[in-house]
Amino acid sequence: MDNQNFFIEFVDFMAPKMDTYEQSIYLYIFRYSRLIDQEEVVIGFKSERKRMACGIGEQGKPMSEGTVYKKLQSLETKGFIKILASEWSGRRIKLFLPHEISGIIPEKIEEKNLIWKKWIFLKLKKIEK
Report the pLDDT value the prediction gives residue 68, as an integer from 0 to 100: 86
Burial classification of residue 14, based on how many CB atoms lie within 10 Å of its CB (0-12 exposed, 13-18 middle, 19 or more buried): buried
Report the pLDDT value the prediction gives residue 114, as an integer from 0 to 100: 63
Report the pLDDT value the prediction gives residue 63, as an integer from 0 to 100: 78
Report the pLDDT value the prediction gives residue 48, as an integer from 0 to 100: 75
Report the pLDDT value the prediction gives residue 105, as an integer from 0 to 100: 85
Beta bridge partners of 40: 94
Q: What does each C-alpha distance from 61 to 1, 18, 33, 48, 65 come to in angstroms?
A: 34, 21, 26, 13, 12
Residue-wise pLDDT for 15-30, tens only, equals: 999 998 899 999 999 9
Domains and CATH numbers, the chain: 3-101 (1.10.10)
More confident residue, 95 or 1: 95
Assess whether pLDDT exceeds 60 at residue 110. Answer: no
Output 121-128 pairs: Cβ under 8 A, ≥24 positions apart. Answer: none
81-87 sheet: strands from edge to edge: 40-43, 90-95, 81-87
φ, ψ of residue 80 to 5 degrees: the values are -85, -25
Residue-wise pLDDT for 49-106, tens only, equals: 766 766 565 666 777 788 888 999 999 999 999 999 999 988 999 999 999 999 888 8
